[in-house]
């Protein structure tokens, strides 16, 4: 709750009157996202609507009854979208080749179309902190780009806003939460295509780092919010050509400084700031600042 509230506040993910379409795959992350957003809605001082959707891609063995039954059991508004993308992917991609790229493109198009049909103003995806970091390293190692998953994204056509409210949440915490809630998890390998080898490598690397150097993954996540363009090498972000002795550079001169290699101790949950929650009557433009104040609770 701490992480999701912080992310919503920091990136203004959800506003008054939003229709939030939560994409649910049957995995732990999307179950956690749906439940946490429903809890948030009960406490939030703004009104927004939640619609859960699942895309049934007609993979052989997909238990199509699991998600509708779960949505019914918790009383959430939902839509099941059935599209046989499985056959399309199998037809287009040679046997043995990874199907993920084409599958994700087809899935994205269907999700955007469904959002338009439902009048959704936000599309919520269940990507967590490790997903963002893995994507950063995948792009660096294999794509030559310093690029990750943003917590908030505008679609190319400008019609859809994608949000990732779990962006600050650690995967291990989500896994614990999912076990405690006993979600009816659907296996993610039904299509016969496992994670690509590159992503597996990155996931293993991050796991080793976190085991050997606790706090390193958190530090990398923090770095995504602390970019210093004048100390990189992208002329599109910083005008190196126009740099003269008279230029003022806000980041300062640290050209000959050694990198800071020592990390502060990993903060405990109790010591972390909760600055999106307030229990006083101070005015605050951020509607997520009063989540624990019963006086401002909405019931839906």
pLDDT in tens, 235-260: 999 999 999 988 877 766 665 555 55
pTM attached to this predicted model = 0.82
Q: Which of 86, 133, 107, 143 is nearest to 24 (CA)?
A: 107
Q: Is 246 helix (H, G, I), strand (E, B) or coil?
A: coil
**Please, are residues 45 and 72 in contact by the beta-carbon 8 Å criterion?**
no
Q: Provide mean pLDDT across the span 60-82.
A: 92
pLDDT at 194 over 60: no
User: Rounded CA gap, 45 and 192, in Å?
Assistant: 44
User: Rounded CA gap, 221 and 127, in Å?
Assistant: 13
Q: How confident is the model at residue 190 (pLDDT cuts 50, 70, 90)?
A: low
Q: Which of 36, 123, 21, 43 is nearest to 288 (CA)?
A: 43
- For the chain, strand residue ranges (E) read 19-23, 49-56, 77-82, 122-124, 152-154, 161-163
Least trusted range by pLDDT, from 19-23, 33-37, 178-182, 259-263: 259-263
Residue 163 CB contacts under 8 Å (≥ 6 apart), including other chains: 11, 13, 14, 20, 122, 123, 124, 125, 151, 152, 153
Q: Which of 126, 173, 216 is nearest to 1 (CA)?
A: 173
């Amino acid at each position: 709750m701490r992480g999701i509230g912080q992310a919503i506040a920091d990136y203004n993910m959800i506003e008054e009157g939003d229709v939030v379409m939560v994409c649910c795959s049957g995995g732990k992350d999307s179950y956690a996202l749906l439940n946490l957003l429903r809890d948030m809605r009960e406490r939030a001082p703004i009104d927004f609507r939640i619609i859960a959707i699942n895309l049934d891609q007609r993979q052989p063995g997909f238990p199509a009854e699991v998600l509708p039954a779960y949505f019914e059991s918790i009383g959430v508004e939902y839509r099941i979208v059935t599209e046989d993308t499985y056959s399309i992917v199998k037809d287009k991609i040679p046997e043995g080749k990874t199907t993920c790229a084409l599958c994700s493109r087809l899935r994205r198009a269907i999700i955007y179309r469904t959002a338009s049909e439902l009048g959704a103003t936000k599309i919520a995806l269940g990507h967590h902190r490790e997903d963002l970091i893995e994507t950063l390293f995948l792009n660096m190692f294999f794509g030559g780009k310093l690029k990750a998953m943003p917590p908030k994204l505008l679609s190319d056509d400008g019609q859809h806003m994608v949000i990732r409210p779990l962006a600050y949440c650690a995967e291990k915490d989500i896994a614990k939460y999912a076990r405690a809630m006993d979600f009816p998890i659907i296996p993610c390998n039904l299509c016969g295509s496992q994670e690509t080898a590159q992503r597996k490598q990155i996931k293993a690397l991050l796991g080793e780092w976190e085991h050997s150097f606790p706090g390193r993954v958190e530090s990398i996540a923090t770095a995504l919010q602390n970019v210093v363009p004048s100390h990189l090498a992208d002329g599109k972000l910083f005008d190196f050509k126009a740099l003269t002795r008279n230029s003022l550079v806000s980041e300062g001169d640290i050209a000959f400084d050694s990198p800071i290699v020592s990390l502060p101790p990993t903060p405990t949950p109790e010591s972390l700031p909760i600055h999106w929650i307030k229990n006083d009557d101070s005015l605050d433009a951020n509607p997520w600042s009063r989540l624990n104040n019963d006086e401002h609770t909405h019931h839906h």
